[in-house]
Amino acid sequence: MSRPRTPANRRPASPRRVAKAPPAQPLLLVLNKPFDVLTQFNDDQGRATLKDFVDVPGVYPAGRLDRDSEGLLLLTNDGRLQARIADPKHKLPKTYWVQVEGEPSDEQLRQLRDGVTLNDGPTLPAEARRLDEPELWERNPPVRFRKSVPTAWLELVIREGRNRQVRRMTAAVGLPTLRLVRVAIGPWTLDGLQPGQWREVPALLP
């Protein structure tokens, strides 16, 4: 007995996705990701990953932090919390301390505050201010400086999550980034964590 044919203009109904139940014990971890560590738990090239520092099963990053950037990374086992933190539509502020090559001018800071046009479109306005050199851990390996060019520190607060956005923004105004440290996401901060250290915090939606 032949089966009835599906009309060409109608697709078979796809199975409905069932929302994953929240975990019985939601977890939220704050990690200080070291420099040169991938924001993932496995790597087939033998590079350093989160697995080298976090031994908690079932958690995954809420958002990303580039391999050559340092600082605050949040990990959770709760999909709703992960989406709330990582999805740019929620516009959680992300605070970065940025060491740049050059001496920032008022005009360059104004450009960052107004929004910078990148190759994937204009950014949202950022909060940008000069920053006295912060007390941070030594980076390994150290930053390479050009002795003939001064450096300075900025604090940048953005509410987007584009690929390498902060580095591209500072480069666009003539201030190449030398070192990039994320110190806060929304209400969460490093609060004294050293590179590779993490702590558990209440898993509450901001």
- Active site amino acids: 66
Query: Which tokens belong to 13?
Result: 């109904």
Q: Which residue has the tokens 């209400």?
A: 187
Helix axes 165-172, 106-114, angle to 10 degrees: 130
Q: What secondary structure letter does DSSP report for 167?
A: H
Helix (H/G/I), strand (E/B), else coil: 171: helix
Q: What is the 3-state secondary structure (H, E, C) of 60-124?
A: EECCCCCCCCEEEEEEECCHHHHHHHHCHHHCCCEEEEEEEECCCCHHHHHHHHHCCEECCEECC
Report d(CA 70, CA 103) in Å as an integer.
Answer: 22
Q: What is the distance, to the nearest Å, from the Cα of residue 59 to the centroid of all Cα atoms in its chain?
A: 16
